[in-house]
Structure 1
Amino acid sequence: MSGATASRPPAVLFTGFPGFLGSALLRRVLARGDGPVACLVQSRYRDLAARRARDIVADVGDEGGDGAAVHLYEGDVTEPDLGLGAALDDPDLLGGVEEVYHLAAVYDLSVDADLAEAVNVRGTEHVLDAAERVGVDRLHYVSTCYVSGRYDGVFTAEDLREGQSFNNHYEATKYRAEVAVRERMAEGLPATVYRPAIAVGDSETGETDKLDGPYNLLRLLLAQPRRLAVAFSVPGAADTELNVVPRDYVVDAIAELSGRPETVGETYQLCDPDPLTVPAFVAAMSDAAGRRTVTVPTPKPVAKAAARVLSARGVDVEPATIDYFDHLTRYRCPNATDALADTDVSVPPFESYVDRIVAFARANPDLGDDPMT
């Protein structure tokens, strides 16, 4: 563990920094004056975290003027005390933390079961233990809409334990993590849960930190001729909604909702209330990529096998993404829509920013799809 004692000890603790979402949200939290902020950082990301912290502080300013708007603490959510030891009990270090933002997770559809369990489930339990040990006023937990698993029907913020099955270890472990959060909330922990849908790049700049999820479709399209590209169409795709939101919406929504006392105890699905179906999504992506695309009806096992072959030949198409082409769960977010109704925060239509995310992906083909773990 490493950290710095300053004239003002941290009021907020972040996990998930210097990740893309965590970095953007940290900027917003500091800008509204909620710092100083302590960031739990794995040692291998310490240099990156230091650079991003300096850039953020330079942009938003240092309210205290002592250069301590951001404190970096080396640790890991997979360790029982987050690797922070006695710092959690010291009021000059982390003992005075009032709020925790828990974003650290393995966001990877093909994640190994043991890694997903260690980070997503036990990591969340360790953060919950630390929050209770410090006696925080509030926990902000970033979950996912896909705690739904393969639920056949409309899934809202009111739903969680519905006897659902899961597409992969990512979904299953995020589900168990949210169950753990909800249990602590029932015991009195003041917390708010945020469930983003499938997050893609920034709606204004297209920026993202990794090309995963829907970007698999884009890679498939770009690997084919402009005049004729082929995409899979599995049974059930025509009736499937692909719920995609830009990452700036997710950040803006969490920043807005986390600053309100009345949102304590609530769960918010940060999803598109009017998402595209899979065929409409493929059409929008094809247009932005400049491809004339034909969808070929393909049995799901065949589509997954073809994705594995393509990946082996250099076209990185993750087979796990095929499961979302017949994912019949429909996500709705009435309480999030109502809570954000009088603000400037809303979900832009995918068609309004797809050109930007495609342009960014084309300009940054080496980003890859590896998660920050």
Structure 2
Amino acid sequence: MSVFLTGFPGFLGSALVERLLERTDRVDCLIQARYREQAQRRAEQIAGDDWPERIALHVGDITEPDLGLDADTAREIQDRTVETFHLAAVYDLGVSRAVAEAVNVDGTEHVLNFVEGCETPRLHYVSTCYVSGRYDGVFSEADLDVGQTFTNHYEATKFEAEKRVKERMHSLKATIYRPAIVVGDSETGATEKYDGPYGILRFLLCQPRHAVLPRMAGAETYEVNLVPRDFVVDAIEHLSGLDGSAGEVYQLCDPNPPTVAETVDLFANATGRTVHTVPLPRRLVEGSLRWIPGAAALTGVDPDTVPYFSHPTQYVCPNTRRDLAGSCIECPPLGSYVDALVAYLRANPDLRTGAMQ
């Protein structure tokens, strides 16, 4: 028997495979052809020279029916699969609608159909807290469609995908996990790419000791919800092993996140900068980065990340806290690991910024 997983050798998928091998003999991974060599290297790092016996790599594509697998291979995987982890998605805030629909929505529908044909139809689906869109208020694990607006196609299509999962949640014994903004490891700072809040850190590091940042409305009240990769992976591995987790939604977020202003202070201290803020409207900041030639490249700040530093939604996670109780797994506060993130960034300045697609 084995576990089937999409999203290898991605940031979360790779770490999760390593953990899953502690409880299963084999993991069948669906990979894209262009990532075959990267997937083989990562599999060897995880399982050693005999990795083909523990990690099976199947070239396919979630945007295609039957996941792009031939009928015999698909049937063999379905017959031995006891649970499926679906992580593959386009994690790109600037993704086009067509690509986001194909991967995040159609791809999830194809995975649902695949799981339906498994001997054991058990699904673990990784969504995102940002199915909330720009909801002005508290967004709980019981919420999904609350009349929200969406900042980008990533949010909108992950929302649509989660709706598809919800429709078949009980027949497939599905569990939904909603991470907040995932950053590097809380101990080592290690990450796969620099996006989201890393743009602010890189901008601070390229400035002199006295640095300047814009301050947008709501900085004293709006929150920035960051979670380190190891917490997300530990939580998914633990929660997925609970008998009662089928049918549950878990928001993997910081239950006590800092405000935007507090986050800037933590970033300033970690980078050794004294930050002077200048009040500016969000749309002016975003528009300047988007339309002034060279602005985004000069600052290192992606304009698509700006709305997340003026985000009105608060996330709560009672299901997660209840079912992690006694496990010693909890989201560490940003202040306890921000130095590790910056140290890794300083030591690895040329890591890529783009998402795997």
- Select the residue among 216, 230, 234 that pairs with 1:252: 234
Unaligned segments of structure 2, at least 5 residues: none
Q: Given the alignment of the two structures, is residue 207 of structure 1 paired with residue 190 of structure 2, yes or no?
A: yes
Going from structure 1 to structure 2, the CA distance change for 1:89 and 1:293 (only over 3 Å counts) comes to: closer
Distance 2:204 2:219 in 1: 18
Alpha-carbon spacing, 1:131–1:88, altered in 2? closer, same or farther (3 Å): farther
2:31 paired with 1:41? yes
* 1:302 CA drift (Å): 1.3
- 2:12 is aligned with 1:30: no
Q: What's the TM-score once normalised by structure 2's chain length?
A: 0.96
* CA distance in 1: counterparts of 2:261 and 2:282, whole angstroms: 16
8 Å CA contact 1:88–1:130 kept in 2: the answer is no
**How far is 1:88 from its partner?**
5.1
> CA shift at 1:239, angstroms?
1.3
Q: Would the aligned equivalents of 1:146 and 1:171 in 2 still touch at CA under 8 Å?
A: yes
Alpha-carbon contact 2:6-2:86 (below 8 Å) kept: yes
Between the aligned residues of both structures, percent identity stands at 54
2:53 aligned residue (62, 68, 79): 68
For 1:271, the aligned partner's letter is C
Name the residue aligned to 1:100. Answer: 84
Q: Does the 8 Å contact 1:99/1:138 carry over to 2? A: yes
Q: Residue 177 of structure 2 corresponds to which residue in structure 1? A: 194
CA 1:312/1:157 → structure 2, altered by over 3 Å: closer, same or farther? Answer: closer
- Corresponding residue for residue 55 of structure 1: 45
What SS does the corresponding residue of 1:121 show, helix, strand or coil? Answer: helix
Q: CA deviation at 1:294?
A: 0.9
In structure 1, give the amino acid aligned to 2:268. Answer: S
1:239-281 deviation per Cα after TM superposition (whole angstroms, max 9, x unaligned): 1011111010000000000111110110000000000000000
The answer to whether the 8 A contact 2:2-2:80 is kept is yes
Change (3 A) 1:207 1:89: closer
Paired position in structure 2 for 1:3:
none
Matched, 1:13 2:4: yes
2:71 aligned residue? 86
Equivalent positions of 1:76-225 (< 5 A) are 76-87=61-72, 90-91=75-76, 93-186=77-170, 188-225=171-208
CA contact (8 A) 2:296 2:302 kept: no
Equivalent position amino acid for 1:50 in 2: Q
Q: Does structure 2 retain, via aligned residues, the 8 Å contact 1:132–1:189? A: yes
How does the TM-score come out when normalised to structure 1? 0.92
Cα offset, 1:312, TM superposition = 4.9
Matched residues in 1 for 2:114 and 2:61: separation?
12
CA RMSD of aligned residues (A): 1.5
Letter in 2 for 1:21: L
